């Protein structure tokens, strides 16, 4: 409850510029005093025969009654200016806010030894099962995924999209790589780079965790140096050992077993190696078990707790301008309305009270929203066009998007992004801008817009999924940023085969064809092409934030392994020195 002592700090104004009107009565009163203090210069014959003191009282306008009227007008002017400024009592409240969760980089070993079946069904499958359960139990944590064999691969940057992370985690397997080995040094370097990426709104990344999941068959000594660098950067390295002390033979892809000389190679869990690595990285070692994940969750919770802080915020309390208006009316009634000055005040003060609303016609926005939901697009466009703020531009974009008028939607969402006043509005407008760019076939620009969306709202699940699909489209179809302007556009929602050839050619209503980049279309290209086509033909139904339909990501699970294998192969061809003495 606000007390009198708290009133000065609690008083706030909706439109404080109206307080400048307080200067007007002060200037008028000072001017009147100045005029009154000037020496009189009698110019009439009557003035020469009357005492100056008596003459002063005889001059019209200098009576006490007249001055009281001016004081009344000044008081009403002040009250009207205060009312026009919109005073209200702000209510202080403490809210616990946080950064977008702790940063955790998960590093998974997919060297051939992870296929050993000393734990059922084998090491990599058991590790994935427990890791996926662990990911599902995390809330606001930002997770990155890195995997390694003879080379290391950054699969996902830091993200809060657990479903996408689980999707790619489930696809990990030693069969993905063409060159076997154990390049943990590069994997830890990629994990550190992921953790060093600061969250949106911050110039410095908080301390993070690296969780290494491996059997410990590590042959590169540089991994210990990289672990020490992680510790020096403020991060911690925790290792989870997979396998058993007894171990088992290392299988190859064709069912053969790895041999070292004339003997079959047996791989065991290297607990001492993993413990040494974790110690160098400032963390701990755990055997693969439910208890290990519980300990890691507690560590993450402690790390996230340090990110929380109490932030004082102010909420708008009861408005006070109605009381000021009633006070003005009472003064008018008590003094009387027949005087000229009072009548002037009755004309001026209502004009002052017509202050422009701080909110741009919420009733008009409500009508436009209702028309949009009812499918009355022409009326919605007309109503949104009367608004000059973010809501108006965003509404015009949604209306054009629903009608498949992509250029108009693009222009409106760009304007909405420029008019956005907070992170949520920037994320919403940027997300829908990316959707529109994708519909136009400008995929590289759409990817940039999705990334900008995530910079404003890291936990935007739809933007994460859309971004993942478009990146996969670039990789699989061979689309490059320099070719984005020449790519035909994706069809808009509701496009039918009855469209004229002119419309199809001008709007680019067919998706990019795999053969366009100079190679023959493969079956996996056709699968991705069909998914892109299904995505582009789903209508957006939401009026507030149009829900884009890249839920087709789940329809692409069958080719995730193929996509990763192709990507790893490309990166392996570019890498140097992948041949290892002990490729297991």
Distances from the Cα of 481 to the Cα of 435, 473, 503, 533, angstroms: 17, 12, 25, 20
Residues 291 and 340 occupy one common structural domain: no
Whole-number Å distance between alpha carbons of 26 and 17:
17
Provide the strand spans (E) within 500-549. Answer: none
CATH no. for residue 481? 1.25.40.10
Whole-number Å distance between alpha carbons of 266 and 258:
8
Whole-number Å distance between alpha carbons of 540 and 543:
9
Q: Which two tokens stand for residue 246?
A: 């007894």
Residue 59 falls inside a structural domain? yes
Residue 163 falls inside a structural domain? yes
Residues 133 and 282 occupy one common structural domain: yes
- Reading the chain (584 residues) residue by residue, the pLDDT tens digits are 445 445 555 677 767 777 887 887 777 777 777 766 665 555 555 555 556 665 555 554 444 455 566 677 777 777 777 777 777 776 555 544 445 578 999 999 999 999 999 999 999 999 999 999 999 998 878 899 999 998 999 998 888 888 889 989 999 999 898 888 889 999 999 999 999 877 655 556 778 999 999 999 887 889 999 999 999 999 999 999 999 999 999 987 667 788 877 888 899 999 999 999 999 999 999 999 999 999 999 999 888 777 655 445 455 555 565 666 666 666 666 665 555 555 555 555 555 455 444 444 566 787 888 888 888 888 888 888 888 888 889 999 999 998 888 899 999 999 999 999 888 899 999 999 999 998 888 888 988 999 899 888 876 777 877 787 777 666 555 533 333 333 333 333 333 333 322 232 233 333 333 333 344 444 544 544 554 444 444 443 333 333 333 344 444 445 677 778 777 887 777 765 544 545 54
pLDDT the model gives residue 43: 53
Residues 129 and 242 occupy one common structural domain: yes
- Cβ(583)–Cβ(177) under 8 Å? no
Residues 82 and 127 occupy one common structural domain: no
pLDDT the model gives residue 296: 96
- What's the distance, CA 191 to chain centroid? 23
Q: Which of 457, 461, 435 has the alpha carbon at shortest distance from 446?
A: 435
Q: If you search the block for the tokens 């790390």, which residue do you land on?
A: 303
Indicate the length of the chain as a whole number. 584
Strand ranges of the sheet holding 152-159, from the earlier edge strand across to the other edge: 152-159, 142-148, 103-109, 208-214, 236-241, 285-287
Distances from the Cα of 165 to the Cα of 136, 203, 207, angstroms: 10, 25, 21
N- to C-terminal Cα distance for the chain? 69
Residue 572 falls inside a structural domain? no
What are the backbone dihedrals phi and psi of residue 148, each rounded to the nearest 5 degrees, phi first?
-155, 150
Residue 558 falls inside a structural domain? no
Whole-number Å distance between alpha carbons of 145 and 153:
9
Distances from the Cα of 573 to the Cα of 71, 125, 201, angstroms: 88, 27, 37
Domain hosting 298: range is 103-307
What are the backbone dihedrals phi and psi of residue 430, each rounded to the nearest 5 degrees, phi first?
-70, -40
- Cβ(418)–Cβ(430) under 8 Å? no
Whole-number Å distance between alpha carbons of 365 and 367:
5
Residue 387 falls inside a structural domain? yes
pLDDT the model gives residue 121: 92
Q: Which of 471, 476, 483 has the alpha carbon at shortest distance from 523?
A: 476
Residues 180 and 248 occupy one common structural domain: yes
pLDDT the model gives residue 512: 35
Distances from the Cα of 386 to the Cα of 256, 362, 400, 405, angstroms: 73, 12, 16, 20
Q: If you search the block for the tokens 């208006």, which residue do you land on?
A: 325
How many CB atoms sit inside 10 A of residue 471's CB? 16
Encode burial over 178-213: b for 16+ CB neighbours within 10 A, e otherwise: ebbbbbbbbbbbbbbebbeeebeeeeebbebbbbbb
- Cβ(146)–Cβ(155) under 8 Å? yes
Residues 456 and 339 occupy one common structural domain: no
pTM: 0.51
Q: Which two tokens stand for residue 567?
A: 């990507």
pLDDT the model gives residue 341: 52
Residues 248 and 386 occupy one common structural domain: no
Q: If you search the block for the tokens 């940039």, which residue do you land on?
A: 448
Residues 230 and 281 occupy one common structural domain: yes
Write down which residue in 307, 342, 371 finishes a domain: 307
Residues 278 and 372 occupy one common structural domain: no
Residue 476 falls inside a structural domain? yes
pLDDT the model gives residue 345: 55
pLDDT the model gives residue 77: 76
CATH no. for residue 261? 3.40.50.410
Whole-number Å distance between alpha carbons of 472 and 527:
12
How many CB atoms sit inside 10 A of residue 423's CB? 13
Residues 348 and 472 occupy one common structural domain: no
- What's the distance, CA 133 to chain centroid? 26
Residue 577 falls inside a structural domain? no
Whole-number Å distance between alpha carbons of 440 and 522:
25
In total, how many domains does the chain have?
3
* Partners of residue 89 on adjacent β-strands: 11
Q: What is the DSSP letter of 483?
A: G
Residues 368 and 349 occupy one common structural domain: no
Residues 114 and 262 occupy one common structural domain: yes
Encode burial over 312-333: b for 16+ CB neighbours within 10 A, e otherwise: eeeeeeeebbeebbeebeebbe
pLDDT the model gives residue 109: 96
Residue 574 falls inside a structural domain? no
What are the backbone dihedrals phi and psi of residue 562, each rounded to the nearest 5 degrees, phi first?
-65, -40
- Cβ(90)–Cβ(12) under 8 Å? yes
């Amino acid at each position: 409850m606000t007390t009198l002592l708290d009133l000065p700090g609690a008083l706030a104004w909706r439109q404080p510029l109206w307080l400048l009107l307080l200067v007007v009565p002060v200037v008028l009163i000072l001017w009147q005093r100045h005029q009154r203090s000037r020496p009189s210069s009698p110019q009439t014959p009557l003035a020469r025969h009357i005492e100056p003191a008596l003459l002063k009282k005889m001059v019209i306008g200098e009576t006490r009654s007249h001055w009281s009227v001016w004081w009344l007008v000044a008081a009403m002017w002040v009250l009207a200016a205060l009312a026009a400024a919109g005073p209200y009592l702000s209510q202080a409240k403490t809210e616990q806010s946080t950064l977008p969760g702790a940063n955790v980089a998960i590093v998974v070993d997919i060297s051939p030894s992870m296929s050993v079946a000393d734990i059922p069904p084998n090491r990599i499958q058991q590790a994935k099962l427990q890791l996926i359960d662990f990911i599902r139990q995390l809330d606001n944590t930002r997770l990155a995924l890195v995997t390694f064999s003879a080379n290391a691969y950054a699969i996902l940057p830091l993200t809060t999209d657990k479903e996408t992370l689980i999707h790619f985690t489930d696809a990990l397997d030693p069969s993905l790589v063409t060159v076997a080995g154990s390049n943990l040094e590069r994997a830890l370097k990629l994990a550190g780079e992921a953790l060093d990426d600061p969250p949106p709104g911050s110039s410095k990344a908080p301390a993070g965790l690296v969780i290494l999941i491996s059997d410990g068959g590590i042959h590169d000594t540089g991994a210990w140096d990289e672990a020490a660098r992680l510790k020096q950067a403020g991060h911690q390295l925790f290792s989870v050992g997979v396998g058993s002390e007894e171990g088992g033979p290392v299988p190859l892809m064709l069912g053969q077993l790895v041999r070292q000389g004339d003997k079959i190679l047996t791989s065991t869990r290297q607990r001492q190696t993993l413990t040494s690595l974790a110690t160098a990285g400032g963390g701990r070692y755990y055997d693969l078990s439910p208890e290990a994940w519980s300990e890691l969750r507690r560590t993450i919770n402690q790390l996230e707790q340090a990110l929380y802080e109490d932030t004082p915020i102010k909420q708008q309390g009861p408005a006070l301008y109605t009381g000021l208006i009633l006070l003005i009316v009472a003064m008018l009634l008590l003094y009387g309305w027949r005087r000229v000055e009072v009548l002037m005040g009755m004309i001026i003060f209502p004009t002052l009270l017509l202050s422009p609303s701080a909110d741009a016609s919420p009733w008009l926005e409500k009508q436009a929203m209702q028309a949009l939901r009812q499918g009355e697009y022409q009326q919605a466009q007309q109503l949104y066009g009367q608004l000059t703020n973010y809501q108006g531009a965003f509404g015009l974009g949604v209306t054009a998007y629903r009608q498949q008028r992509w250029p108009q939607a693009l222009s409106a969402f760009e304007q909405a992004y420029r008019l956005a006043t907070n992170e949520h509005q920037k994320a919403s407008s940027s997300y829908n801008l990316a959707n529109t760019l994708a519909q136009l076939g400008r995929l590289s620009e759409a990817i940039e817009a999705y990334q900008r969306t995530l910079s404003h709202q890291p936990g935007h699940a739809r933007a994460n999924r859309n971004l993942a699909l478009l990146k996969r489209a670039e990789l699989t179809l061979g689309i490059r940023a320099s070719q984005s302007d020449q790519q035909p556009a994706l069809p808009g929602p509701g496009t039918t085969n009855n469209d004229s050839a002119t419309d199809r050619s001008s709007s680019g209503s067919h998706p990019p064809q795999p053969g366009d980049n100079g190679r023959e279309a493969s079956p996996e290209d056709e699968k991705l092409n069909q998914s892109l086509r299904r995505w582009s033909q789903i209508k957006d139904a939401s009026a507030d934030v149009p829900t884009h339909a890249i839920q087709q990501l789940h329809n692409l699970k069958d080719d995730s392994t193929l996509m990763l294998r192709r990507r790893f192969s490309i990166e392996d061809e570019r890498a140097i020195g992948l041949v290892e003495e002990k490729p297991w």
